[in-house]
Structure 1
Amino acid sequence: MRLTVLGNQGPFPGPEGACTGFLLQDKEVNILIDCGAGVISRLQKYCKISDLDAIVLSHLHSDHSSDMFVLRYAVQAKLMTKTMDKAIDVYTPKTPDKYYKELDFNNVFNLHNISDGMQLNIMGFSFTFYKTAHPVECYGMRIEKDGKVFAYSADTTYTENIIKLAENADLFLCEANATENIRKTSNPPHLSVKEACDIARKAKVKKLLLTHFWFEEPKENYRGDAEGEFNKVELSEELKTYEI
């Protein structure tokens, strides 16, 4: 498995940046995980829209799904011009209802609902979904293939479910939107860097990759919070590919 970070910012992207989106690949299989602002443009550096095998959305907050509402027009146009020959399978929570209904557009997506504890085989990848603690219905993912485990927290506050999701993962991609500096003035519904490291430590993951950065917060603050908290932790880099 290999994972390319298409965007790692939230809740909005900075200049030259993009919100959450990751391309998971193995051989000829291409699965997009989350699809926030700016992701579709970057996706096409690595994969044609017509070569997407599936899209998995952790939740329907805009910074994880807004480019889906651009992508639907792209797929519609490509189906009309016969540069694509089938709709894309999309795995997503069914709520919030307003945004879910907007995905049901001219048969460009085959919509499949996900739920807590659900296990699915998607193009040879074994997915298990874990409900997280977030203001809307949201699911983290444990993905297994060929003896390797990739875990993705999605958006959440601290919950035991994320420890189970990440247990012994080869790569744990974990949101860490809140630094200690941010926590001085606000309490966003997200993990802090230190909490992400604590989960990784308890889950005994092999490598922790942090994501979902607040663009206006200096990266030095994220690095400083992570220092000494976990033995193998990195800040994810946009447009970088990680082998799992």
Structure 2
Amino acid sequence: MKLTVIGCSGSMSGPKGAASAYLVKTDTTTIILDLGPGTMGQLMNYIDPAEVDAIVLSHLHTDHVADIIGMQVYRRWFPGGPLGPVDVYSPGDGLFRTRQIGGDGPEENYEGEFTFHTVAQGDSVTVGDIDLEFFHAVHPVPALAIRLTGPGGEVLTYSGDTDYCEGQVAAAKDADMYLCEAAFEASRDTVRDIHLTGGRAGQIATEAGVKNLLLTHLQPWTDPDVVCQEARATYSGPIAVANPGGTFHVANPSRMGA
């Protein structure tokens, strides 16, 4: 699988780019994880949005879903004709949330652009050659971690927004890459059950046996050096910080060359 960071700014778009959105591709399958503010335009730098096979939303906060209306407009009014519906998976009522963002009434069901599916912890779906499993996350609204297993057995886990919980450890178990939010700095942010610090992200990665830790969702005022130092205190493996346009090849070393 190939992971491309479309946007990674936490809680809002930032001076370096859009809010949360991640493109996951194999040779035959294209999935978008989250569609935060500013990500629709950036997505066009990497793919034609018509190629998307599924949209998977970790939760329905605006900084992770606002550009679903941009996707809706693109699919409905594409000059070559309507593109038809794409599957959208989310915790909570994705249809209702999309109406809220679009300012549309109950008569609008977006059936020409989207097919909405509600998912919860313990659910699993298959999109093309990628298997997705959903795990509990701790956040003020229903939220999920997403474990994606590619055709070669490679595993990418996306934390979504969360604090430490056993669901994250289970979702990231032996993952080849853990794309993990780290919006908080330990010395600054003491509130719990909203976001991770670098230290708590590293703790999950260590307990889960993660092979690579990719920190993301850093707010514009969060210092990546501080977050990395915190993570290094609790995790000894490779650590990187997501940046817009960053690409990562997620591979299972035990399957390589097989």
Would the TM-score normalized by the shorter structure come out above 0.5? yes
Q: Residue 132 of structure 2 aligns to which amino acid in structure 1?
A: F
RMSD over aligned CA atoms reads: 1.9
The alpha-carbon distance between structure 1 residues 230 and 177, as it changes in their structure 2 partners (threshold 3 A), is: same
1:101 Cα deviation (Å)?
4.3
SS at match of 1:63: helix
1:123 aligns with 2:128: yes
Is the Cα contact below 8 Å between 2:199 and 2:227 reproduced in 1?
no
For 2:147 and 2:230, the matched residues in 1 are separated by 26
For 1:187-206, list aligned pairs within 5 A. 189-206=194-211
The alpha-carbon distance between structure 1 residues 222 and 101, as it changes in their structure 2 partners (threshold 3 A), is: same
1:87 Cα deviation (Å)?
1.5
Q: Percent identity?
A: 29
SS at match of 2:188: helix
Segment drifting more, 97-106 vs 4-13: 97-106
Deviation by residue 1:151-174 (Cα, 9 ceiling, x = unmatched): 111111111110011000000111
SS at match of 1:181: coil
How many residue pairs are counted as aligned between the two chains?
241
Q: Residue 199 of structure 2 aligns to which amino acid in structure 1?
A: K
For 1:96 and 1:147, the matched residues in 2 are separated by 30
Cross-structure match for 1:110: 115
Cross-structure match for 2:241: 235
Cross-structure match for 1:161: 167
1:99 aligns with 2:97: yes
Q: Residue 2 of structure 2 aligns to which amino acid in structure 1?
A: R
For 1:77 and 1:200, the matched residues in 2 are separated by 43
SS at match of 1:70: helix
Is the Cα contact below 8 Å between 2:139 and 2:193 reproduced in 1?
no
Q: Residue 116 of structure 1 aligns to which amino acid in structure 2?
A: Q
Cross-structure match for 1:226: 231
SS at match of 1:115: coil
1:14 aligns with 2:20: no
1:129 Cα deviation (Å)?
0.4
The alpha-carbon distance between structure 1 residues 76 and 127, as it changes in their structure 2 partners (threshold 3 A), is: same
Q: Residue 15 of structure 1 aligns to which amino acid in structure 2?
A: P
The alpha-carbon distance between structure 1 residues 178 and 188, as it changes in their structure 2 partners (threshold 3 A), is: farther
For 1:162-177, list aligned pairs within 5 A. 162-177=168-183
Is the Cα contact below 8 Å between 1:174 and 1:208 reproduced in 2?
yes
1:42 Cα deviation (Å)?
1.1
The alignment's TM-score, normalised by the length of structure 1, stands at: 0.92
Stretches of structure 1 that go unaligned for 5 or more consecutive residues are none
SS at match of 1:172: strand
1:83 Cα deviation (Å)?
4.4
SS at match of 1:205: coil
Cross-structure match for 1:42: 42
1:2 Cα deviation (Å)?
0.6
The alignment's TM-score, normalised by the length of structure 2, stands at: 0.87
